[in-house]
């Protein structure tokens, strides 16, 4: 039977890999329902012409004339602005890939969740900024959340086979491009250095998060929500080869892991095919050629972002949302050349401190509007910190 699928964030790294799986599948396996992106008109138009979705939406309203003109000779419906993204996510699909970056993806992803169908969750920031609200929506709608983040996909796969007697989850981290850099060298890191990840090829924001280790911090919070585990039961270990994608330790001392090449098309295919397995065009592991698997304790002095994320998870309330928004804003400032690499974590920490001072972390925001308003005020605090640097 043809599967109706939507891709939110189709022009990004995860979005394109998702469409690559569709492209390689036998004709008739998938029918594209909706594609969305921020503002890349030419790219989404090329995708629309190739995959013939029913609906295409761009967040940036200024792109409307170009989008209209370029799809004028087709039957594809178009929309622009944040509401159009939500409309795209509401169109009936059997599977939606949620691959927008950042808290900008929260409302569209929730709209997909509300359909009560299968949702491939790549957009980890949704769970970090709105964990409680998001998981409540999942329970209410009966949607099946399929983690796409490779670590969470690995744990999901392990727990599907053996969910009983879990003692702890072990998230693996590549350690990013600066694993062996000195603190002094980190002070001189450029945008290009930080975007150059040794193992994974990803969008700009998550590449910077991998370099600061904030990505692992966000994943810690993501894992806590997805698998209902407290911080104390989730460990992080640096594993530079990124072959073990994560592990689960059981009460009897057994540790089960999922392994594979570092290629997101494996977890993407797993989420698209679930509960079946579908083929993915990835390099196969050749164990005879793997020279070794190594593991290290993460260095939270050099990479304070991981410590900050754990503290935010343990503090609860508003802290994870503030952490996430502050990080998004600080990463953007780094990408724009406004702050240094080490200042990303400094700014996140001082923003968290400002919130503790002024309002304490209180209760978690319990509506989407409350999440978005807290997100906005954390970003304003970041801007104020940057001016004072
Ligand atoms: P990306 O930057 O390559 O793509 C992001 C997509 O979202 C693009 O289609 C872009 O047009 C769209 N977008 C950006 N800002 C938007 C906005 N304000 N409103 C609406 N749409 C917007 O990002 P990516 O690397 O594909 O990552 C997507 C998500 O998947 C992130 O949450 C990331 O953490 C997660 N993830 C990515 C990888 C990876 O390998 N790339 C791995 C694990 C998890
Ligand atoms: Mg990951």
Which residue range(s) make up the domain with 131?
3-147
- Choosing from 94, 112, 147, the residue where a domain stops is 147
Q: Is 270 within the bounds of a domain? A: no
- Choosing from 114, 147, 180, the residue where a domain stops is 147
Contact 333, 339 (CB under 8 A): yes
Distance from the alpha carbon of residue 96 to the mean position of ligand 1, in angstroms: 14
Coil, helix or strand for 148? coil
Atom of ligand 1 nearest to the CA of 150: 43
Please tell me whether the peptide bond between 130 and the residue prior to it is cis, using omega within 30 degrees of 0.
Answer: no
Q: Is 267 within the bounds of a domain? A: no
If asked whether residues 64 and 188 sit together in one domain, one would say no
Nearest Cα residue to 91 out of 125, 57, 65, 122: 57
Q: What is the pLDDT of residue 105?
A: 98
If asked whether residues 189 and 208 sit together in one domain, one would say yes
CA–CA separation, 223 and 169 (whole Å): 9
pLDDT for 194-237, tens place per residue?
Answer: 999 888 889 999 999 999 999 999 999 999 999 999 999 999 99
If asked whether residues 98 and 19 sit together in one domain, one would say yes
- CATH number, position 383: 1.10.1740.10
If asked whether residues 155 and 93 sit together in one domain, one would say no
Contact 312, 320 (CB under 8 A): yes
Q: Which two tokens stand for residue 69?
A: 């003109």
Residues of the chain with pLDDT under 50: none
Q: Which two tokens stand for residue 338?
A: 């406004």
pLDDT for 138-158, tens place per residue?
Answer: 999 999 999 999 999 999 999
Q: Is 75 within the bounds of a domain? A: yes
If asked whether residues 189 and 211 sit together in one domain, one would say yes
If asked whether residues 134 and 161 sit together in one domain, one would say no
If asked whether residues 257 and 164 sit together in one domain, one would say yes
Q: Is 268 within the bounds of a domain? A: no
Q: Is 273 within the bounds of a domain? A: no
- Kind of pairing, strands 3-8 and 255-259? unpaired
- Kind of pairing, strands 166-173 and 244-250? antiparallel
Q: Is 304 within the bounds of a domain? A: no
Q: How many domains does the chain have?
A: 3
- Choosing from 147, 163, 190, the residue where a domain stops is 147
If asked whether residues 157 and 132 sit together in one domain, one would say no
Residue 197 marked in a binding site: yes
Distance from the alpha carbon of residue 152 to the mean position of ligand 1, in angstroms: 17
Distance from the alpha carbon of residue 182 to the mean position of ligand 2, in angstroms: 24
120 lines ligand 1 (CB under 6 A): no
Q: What is the pLDDT of residue 199?
A: 83
Q: What is the pLDDT of residue 360?
A: 79
Q: Is 277 within the bounds of a domain? A: no
Q: For a pocket test of ligand 1, which of 13, 88, 214 has the largest count of ligand atoms closer than 8 A to its C-beta?
A: 13
CA–CA separation, 342 and 302 (whole Å): 9
361 CB burial (10 A radius; 0-12, 13-18, 19+): middle
Q: Which two tokens stand for residue 132?
A: 């409680």
If asked whether residues 29 and 139 sit together in one domain, one would say yes
Residues with CB under 5 A from ligand 2 (ion): 149-151
If asked whether residues 155 and 142 sit together in one domain, one would say no
If asked whether residues 179 and 214 sit together in one domain, one would say yes
Contact 270, 258 (CB under 8 A): no
CA–CA separation, 63 and 324 (whole Å): 28
Q: What is the pLDDT of residue 384?
A: 96
Q: Is 18 within the bounds of a domain? A: yes
**Which positions ≥6 away from 27 have C-beta within 8 Å?**
none
- Hunting for tokens 């008109």 — which residue is that? 41
Q: What is the pLDDT of residue 161?
A: 84
Q: What is the pLDDT of residue 389?
A: 84
Q: What is the pLDDT of residue 357?
A: 76
117 lines ligand 1 (CB under 6 A): no
Distance from the alpha carbon of residue 259 to the mean position of ligand 2, in angstroms: 14
Kindly report the length of the chain. Answer: 389
- CATH number, position 44: 3.40.50.720
**Alpha-carbon separation of residue 213 from 83, 100, 172, 178, 329 (angstroms):** 33, 20, 11, 10, 16
Q: What is the pLDDT of residue 358?
A: 74
If asked whether residues 177 and 127 sit together in one domain, one would say no
Quote the crossing angle between the two packed helices 150-161 and 214-227, to the nearest 10°.
Answer: 30
CA–CA separation, 90 and 113 (whole Å): 9
């Amino acid at each position: 039977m043809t599967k109706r699928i939507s891709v939110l964030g189709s022009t990004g790294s995860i979005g394109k890999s998702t469409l690559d799986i569709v492209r390689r599948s036998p004709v008739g396996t998938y029918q594209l329902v909706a594609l969305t992106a921020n503002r890349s008109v030419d790219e989404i138009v090329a995708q629309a012409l190739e995959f013939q979705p029913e609906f295409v939406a761009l967040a940036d309203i200024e792109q409307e004339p170009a989008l209209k003109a370029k799809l004028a000779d087709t039957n594809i419906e178009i929309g622009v602005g944040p509401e159009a993204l939500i409309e795209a996510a509401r169109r009936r699909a059997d599977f939606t890939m949620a691959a927008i970056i950042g808290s900008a993806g929260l409302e569209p992803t929730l709209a997909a969740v509300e359909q009560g169908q299968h949702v491939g969750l790549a957009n980890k920031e949704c769970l970090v900024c709105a964990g409680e609200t998001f998981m409540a929506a999942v329970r209410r709608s009966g949607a099946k959340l399929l983690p796409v983040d490779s670590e969470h996909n690995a744990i999901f796969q392990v727990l599907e086979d053996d969910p009983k007697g879990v003692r702890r989850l072990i998230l693996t981290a590549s350690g990013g491009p600066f694993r062996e850099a000195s603190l002094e060298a980190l002070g001189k890191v450029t945008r290009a250095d930080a975007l150059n990840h040794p193992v994974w090829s990803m969008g700009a924001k998550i590449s910077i998060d991998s370099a600061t280790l904030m990505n692992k911090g966000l994943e810690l919070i993501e894992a806590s929500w997805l698998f209902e585990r407290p911080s104390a039961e989730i460990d992080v270990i640096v594993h530079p080869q990124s072959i073990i994608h994560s592990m689960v330790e059981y009460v009897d001392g057994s540790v089960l892991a999922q392994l594979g090449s570092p290629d997101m098309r494996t977890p993407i295919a797993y989420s698209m095919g679930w509960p079946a397995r579908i083929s993915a065009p990835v390099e196969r592991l050749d164990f005879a050629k793997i020279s070794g698997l190594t593991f290290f304790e993460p260095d939270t002095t050099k990479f304070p972002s991981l410590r900050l994320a754990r503290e935010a998870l343990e503090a609860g309330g508003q802290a994870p949302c503030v952490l996430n928004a502050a990080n998004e804003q600080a990463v953007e400032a780094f990408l724009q050349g406004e702050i240094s690499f080490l200042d990303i974590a400094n700014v996140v920490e001082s923003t968290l401190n400002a919130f503790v001072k002024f309002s304490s972390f209180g209760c978690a925001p319990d509506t989407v509007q409350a999440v978005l308003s807290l997100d906005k005020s954390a970003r304003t605090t970041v801007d104020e910190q940057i001016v004072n640097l």
